[in-house]
Structure 1
Amino acid sequence: MNDNTPEDTADMDADFTYQVDAEDTSKRLDAVLAAQLDTLSRNRVQALIRAGEVTVDGAKILEPKFRVNEGQLLALTVPEAEDPEPLGEDIPLSIIFEDDHLIVVDKPAGLVVHPGAGNWTGTLVNALIHHCGDSLSGVGGVKRPGIVHRIDKDTSGLLVVAKTDVAHQGLSAQFADHGKTGPLERAYSALVWGAPSSLKGTIDANLARSNVNRQKIAVVKTSGRHAITHWQVKERFGSEDQPALASLMECRLETGRTHQIRVHMGHIHHPLIGDQDYGAGYKTKVNRLEEPLKSAIAGFSRQALHAGLLAFAHPVSGETLRFESPYPTDFEELLRALRKF
């Protein structure tokens, strides 16, 4: 609760309260609340307002467009979630390694890792529950049993999942340490627009929810979460007319933030090919290409990112395990088309 919140307010039981300051005067209620809440999207805030979960100076306001004034007290209550418990589903899994403690899978692009809004079924978690039964670690919670880390729906590649609580705790500690004191490695292959002037570099730029679109992540100068990506150019593609059309890069994570590689590469003006969120401005580049490359890129319907390397210490035996995943078919075909350019 904010320090300037009156102690005799009728909204002491609210989950969040905020007293409007001069900067927010005359702004929409939904916009002001969404700007203050990193955990809720603007759409979610609007739904809560319409459901009567928001008050202004103690009075319920049902209109997201309501304009607020300096000094008004906003209070929001978030009802307890009643998400369905995920069930096992017979979804094919590409299993790279499995023992009594953990399982390593090669996730295809298009498969969501865990259930959430709009994706309560058909996820990797549903497939794991079917495959592992009751052996999945419960540390990750009902919706994310065994999940230690995740990759985006449209990113392909390697994931390790804990089958016991001991394994979950051991793996989580390694991911939290980011490989500083152990063998943890995560390397991604990315096909990006353009070619950096140098062959390798490091991006150190904090990340936070975008103030413009709460579904996206943005680089921020202050606050946010610390994020570091190390990159290296593996191959450059071009012609006499366009000598720096695209590059194949290897990205290694020192931190693991949501959309980190995608946002960081866009930040240095080399967004991933096919990235509709952080590289949409490069669509016009495709129209200027000649066939068959034009069709190859236009038909690539996801960000060109593949988690190809994963290494870690087995949380029970201590043995270093290292796994590599070949490029999936769509990534390989796009790479082949770029090499012919």
Structure 2
Amino acid sequence: MARIKERTSKDGSIRYTAEIRLKGFPTQSATFKRKTDAKRWIQDTESAIREGRHFKTVEAKKHTLAELVDRCINDVLPIKSATLKRDQTTQLSWFKDEIGAFTLADINPAVITQCRDKLLTEIGQRGKVRTPASVVRYMAALSHAFTIAVNEWQWLEDSPMRKVKKPKEPRGRVRFLEDDDRARLLQACKESSNELLYICVILALSTGMRQGELMNLKWSDVNLKDRYIILHETKNEERRRVPLTGHALELLQEHAKVKRLDTSLLFPGKTHKDKPIDLRKPFETALKRAEITDFRWHDLRHCTASYLAMNGASSAEIAEILGHKTLQMVKRYAHLSDGHVSSVIESMNAKIFGGA
């Protein structure tokens, strides 16, 4: 049921108050200068209520993006890994600074697109223009927040991120060391004044662990008897079991004999025992001595994946070892296993066609 009340204000002007009463829903009302506007509002609002759209729109007008970000940081991020919590707090806070005053109803694809374009041209925390890959991560953090607001909090009917195009990322970097380069680097690490550099580089190469995963290892994560490490905090928030074998296992067994008793960390810092050691400068020095350029710590992980591919490991096996949820990330190494693929095809053809 809907009705329109005509009222005369103190200044003599006429106002029309439209009121909608539908069973099972709270009363809705609005005031207009023209009766035709009141009638149109009744038609649109009744239709929206019956289709379940109206109250979601009302909720979107009640909440700002700043409220959305604050609730995510306080209620959602604490259950994520420390790395994800830190990164997504930074990413969401950027959007809060830019468009935090906007109500969720006012945030549309055009607004998000402006933010995307600014992210692509703005100098980031490291003093450089953000890469497309970095901007994609910013957008992913905001998209996740909107998805929660839609599905769980019902602050929105739909996410405005759906129609926003992500920046095109360049092809994944594949930088690995040839045998001679690897030998020189390992020798330089062994000769480093930092006694932990060599074992950390060996572990990184032999396991494919990310730098954060490796440096934050605790002795409680290591099982030398059964030869494995359990990673509790990973990038994809899933526990991962990392096998220990060969030289890496031998070094870790020796390291366990001289472990510090005042900290739980495998590789504690010299100044702060409860913070991981910073190997950035020793690693850079080792690279210079080994005459290796254009190489970063994360490329040790690329080395692991590349060596696995060249030794016949499948994409699924590489993904499992490195901790990737999908095979997309390991496709960059596919060309390195061409020899293995060729041998598989050759074997298949021999069985089918024989000597023909």
TM-score (norm 2): 0.30
- Which has a greater percent of strand? 1
- Which has a greater percent of helix? 2
Greater relative contact order (Cα < 8 A, sep 6+): 1
TM-score (norm 1): 0.30
